[in-house]
Amino acid sequence: MTVLGVIRLSVLTVPRNVSLYRRGNEEFLHKTYSSYGPHYVKPHVTTEKRKELIESGEAETLKLIPIKAALNYETCSVFHDELTRKFTNHVMRCGKKALARELIEKTFEKIKRIQLEKYHKTPEDQKESIIKDPVKILHDAISNSKPLLELTPVKRGGVRYQVPVPITENRSLFLAIKWLITSAKDKDRKIHFPEKLAWELLDAAANQGRVVKRKVDLHRQCEANKAFAHYRWS
Amino acid sequence: MIPIIKFVVRNSNYVSWSSSSVTANGAKVLWPSTLTVSFCTNNNDSEKKPSVKKTSKAMKAYLERARKHEEFIKKENLEYQIGKRHLANMMGEDPEFFTQEDVNKAIEYLFPSGLFEPKARPFMKPPEEVYPPQKAAEFDEAGRPYHFLFYTGKANFYKLLYEVVENINNLNKYEDRMIRKHLTPDPTQAMSMIGSQWLPQDVLEHRLVEPLHESQYAAFKLAFDRLVSHPYSYRVRDFIEEYRKPLVNQVALQQIPEPQYDENGRPYVTTTNCLRKRSWAEVTVRGAGSGKISINGQGLDYFAEIQSREQILFPLIMTKQLKNVDVEAKVIGGGPSGQAGAIRWGIAFCLRSFVDKEMIEQMRLAGLLTRDYRKPERKKPGQAGKRKKFTWKKR
């Protein structure tokens, strides 16, 4: 009998993306499980962003840093709009992105038709004031629907007070999108979603309609409850 | 403990595998030397005997351990050499000129493994690489440790942290002195962390000769980050740079293939093995084209979804080559998203041969040249899917 060397099984390696952080006197290990290494950074997909990087000289510093692969929805196309993509993802149900995208495109078509009709009906000197770009209308609608404050229940002495609190930019965006979509879904059975959404967006872009009213109502309630604001910290 | 598998090959078997009789001779030459090992070590023992009275128990135990380890490594080394000769003979090659690379190839051929993790597959390496190096004696004859941090269990590691803190304290004192003199740190000498990273955990472990826990490695990085963030950190530049590893631009190192020319005199580049998720693609990009795209014989409408079509066009739009090149792709496996991703990577990789260096760097920044290694999460036993559970009914 002869022995043929040593062949061993090594222990599987653990992910190395580990960092230490402190909260009070306790130390915590923060682990992230990623197929990329710890020093990979996100890609800069848009042409404007890359131009900026070169002008500011940051591109030089990025030269040695590995970049993550661009995600499957990212593109440098001029037709790509980040906010529209975000809105589409909120419209999406059960992961049917193609359907959600189709609905948004139909909405945009509807908006375009309505605005073009309006454009041709208006007299020559007022024509410039009409926005014909549906993406611009979506942006306006969302920025007009964004709330600044929110009411959160806080229990003090057995009583629940509705306390106004300032919200983050992200939360504000989320609420605006959610309100626009829910108000568009609240419709007659015979009306299609893209049609209703187009009306809602046009209303909100003109700073009127149900969603803007909802925002104003919330702000009014916050104003009425401002006496409770100190419960946020006391 | 790491499990060890010893593969035993019977003579009869292995004679039938390789017809030459040199193999048997090779084995015979090496076998008797195993016996001499034990004699040699016995001699070593007898030399140490006079000092037995003075040595402490710890020292004795250490000497015993060191001797055993040396013996063990010697034995493993011998087994490795024999194994290498056998492998060489089995593969029908000259045992004298059989390199480690050949050994790896032979093991992969003889013991094919379907295991996913490459490190879990069988391998044969010299024992010095497999077994970690051991520390030399850390205490004197009387059993008194040399190192002031011996009783922490990880003396070298804690010594390193101690040095970092000492440096920070010294720099603080220096900063105070400078403030009293109304001087500010020199901005031209400020430490730049660009282009290098902290030593990876395994390299650090090897340097300190101590196994580290993840949290200890995190503490190492945290301590050094604090030192680097000090305004006068450039005064200890040498100490910091000892623990940094330079980064390399991998994309710049890759060789860009020269375009080949077809019968019509058009330049073309083919990239095979374009992978993404469960898809495989082979992409050919032809120069002097008009923007024709053919995927499995169809046009861009091979993909029903617009998002997938956008992905195909992404590298072409970015490099402004949409109307200058033709793309031919063959793709199999996976879904539309994965297939589009595979082709996108293939097109970007081919386009490197048609654009200038600056544009290649731009493509790298946009994340087009990075291979996306993310895979679908596996299904778990006892569950319907990767995360989904079976319907649960109480009764």
Q: What is the pLDDT of residues A93-139, one digit of tens each?
A: 999 999 999 999 999 999 999 999 999 999 998 988 999 999 999 99
d(CA B311, CA B330): 16
Q: Do B215 and A27 touch (CB under 8 A)?
A: yes
d(CA B348, CA B368): 6
The average pLDDT across A2-6 equals 38
- Put simply, whether B119 touches A (Cβ < 8 Å) is yes
Give the contacts of B23 (CB within 8 A, at least 6 positions apart).
B14, B85, B86, B89
Q: Do B82 and A45 touch (CB under 8 A)?
A: no
Only one residue has tokens 């009213």, namely: A213
- Put simply, whether B372 touches A (Cβ < 8 Å) is yes
From chain A, pick out residues whose CB is under 8 angstroms from the CB of B127: 6
pLDDT recorded at residue B46: 44
Strands A149-156 and A159-166, sheet pairing? antiparallel
Flag whether pLDDT at A4 surpasses 50: no
Residue B378 carries which DSSP code?
P
Confidence band, pLDDT 50/70/90 cuts, at residue B255: confident
The average pLDDT across B359-373 equals 92
Flag whether pLDDT at B167 surpasses 70: yes
**Residue of A12, A35, A53 lying closest to B373 (CB–CB):** A35
Only one residue has tokens 């220096």, namely: B174
B260-365 belongs to which CATH class? alpha beta
Q: Do A64 and B247 touch (CB under 8 A)?
A: yes
Confidence band, pLDDT 50/70/90 cuts, at residue B22: very low
Residue of A1, A3, A6 best to disrupt the B interface, most CBs of B under 10 A: A6
Arithmetic mean of pLDDT over chain B: 83
d(CA A20, CA B214): 9
> Where exactly are the structural domains of chain B?
11-130, 152-246, 260-365
Strands B326-332 and B293-295, sheet pairing? parallel
Nearest to B137 by CA among B118, B150, B122, B120: B150
Q: Round the CA-based radius of gyration of chain A to a whole number and report it.
A: 26
Flag whether pLDDT at B1 surpasses 80: no
Flag whether pLDDT at A65 surpasses 90: no
From chain B, pick out residues whose CB is under 8 angstroms from the CB of A29: 214-215, 218
Residue of B30, B125, B214 best to disrupt the A interface, most CBs of A under 10 A: B214
pLDDT recorded at residue A17: 63
- Put simply, whether B285 touches A (Cβ < 8 Å) is no
The CATH T-level fold of domain A87-232 is: Ribosomal Protein S7 (1.10.455)
**Residue of A2, A6, A42 lying closest to B11 (CB–CB):** A2
List pLDDT tens digits, range A173-219. 999 999 999 999 999 999 999 999 999 999 999 999 999 999 999 99
d(CA B242, CA B341): 41
pLDDT recorded at residue A132: 92
Of B56 and B352, which is predicted with more confidence? B352
Least confident of A225-229, B242-246, B278-282, B373-377: B373-377
Burial per residue of A4-43, b for 16 or more beta-carbon CB atoms within 10 angstroms, e otherwise:
bbbbbbeeeeeeebbbbeeeeeeeeeeeeeeebeeebeeb
B30 touches A5 (CB < 8 A): no
A to B CB pairs, distance under 8 Å: 178
From chain A, pick out residues whose CB is under 8 angstroms from the CB of B27: 2
Confidence band, pLDDT 50/70/90 cuts, at residue A16: low
Q: Do A2 and B27 touch (CB under 8 A)?
A: yes
d(CA B85, CA B97): 10
The average pLDDT across A7-13 equals 36
Q: Which residue of A has its CA nearest to B251?
A: A66
Q: Which residue of B has its CA nearest to A99?
A: B305
The average pLDDT across B292-299 equals 94
Q: Do A8 and B3 touch (CB under 8 A)?
A: yes
B5 touches A8 (CB < 8 A): yes
Q: Do B250 and A97 touch (CB under 8 A)?
A: no
Report the percent of chain B where pLDDT is more than 70.
Answer: 86
Output the six-digit token pair for B11. Answer: 């003579």
List pLDDT tens digits, range A23-61. 777 777 777 777 887 778 899 999 999 999 999 988 888
Flag whether pLDDT at B42 surpasses 50: no
pLDDT recorded at residue A18: 67
Confidence band, pLDDT 50/70/90 cuts, at residue B35: very low
d(CA A130, CA A135): 14
Flag whether pLDDT at B26 surpasses 60: no
Flag whether pLDDT at B4 surpasses 70: no
What's the count of helices (H) and strands (E) in chain A, helices before strands?
8, 5
- Put simply, whether B314 touches A (Cβ < 8 Å) is yes
pLDDT recorded at residue B359: 92
Confidence band, pLDDT 50/70/90 cuts, at residue B194: confident
Of A14 and B80, which is predicted with more confidence? B80
Q: Do B111 and A7 touch (CB under 8 A)?
A: yes
Flag whether pLDDT at B60 surpasses 50: yes
Q: Which residue of B has its CA nearest to A33?
A: B374
State the span(s) of chain A assigned CATH 1.10.455.10: 87-232
Of B373 and B133, which is predicted with more confidence? B373
Output the six-digit token pair for B247. Answer: 């980064």
B337 touches B310 (CB < 8 A): no
pLDDT recorded at residue B145: 82
Least confident of A18-22, B23-27, B88-92, B191-195: B23-27
Percent of chain A as helix, strand, coil, to the nearest 5? 50, 15, 35
Confidence band, pLDDT 50/70/90 cuts, at residue B53: low
d(CA B320, CA A50): 15
d(CA B136, CA B115): 37
Q: Round the CA-based radius of gyration of chain B to a whole number and report it.
A: 31
What 3-state DSSP class applies to B191? coil
Q: Do B307 and A63 touch (CB under 8 A)?
A: no
Q: Do B366 and A29 touch (CB under 8 A)?
A: no
The average pLDDT across B126-154 equals 81
The ipTM of this complex is 0.83
Nearest to A48 by CA among A68, A73, A76: A76
Q: How far is CA B295 from CA B253, B331, B340, in A?
A: 30, 7, 10
Least confident of A4-8, A149-153, B280-284, B361-365: A4-8
Arithmetic mean of pLDDT over chain A: 88
Q: Do A76 and B314 touch (CB under 8 A)?
A: yes
From chain A, pick out residues whose CB is under 8 angstroms from the CB of B362: 50
CB count, 10 Å around CB of B38? 11
Q: What secondary structure does DSSP assign to A160-183, as a single string?
A: EEEEEEE--HHHHHHHHHHHHHHH
Percent of chain B as helix, strand, coil, to the nearest 5? 50, 10, 40
From chain A, pick out residues whose CB is under 8 angstroms from the CB of B124: 5-7
**What's the CA angle centered on A68, arms B327 and B333, to 5 degrees?**
45
Report the percent of chain B where pLDDT is more than 90.
Answer: 56
Q: Do B80 and A67 touch (CB under 8 A)?
A: no
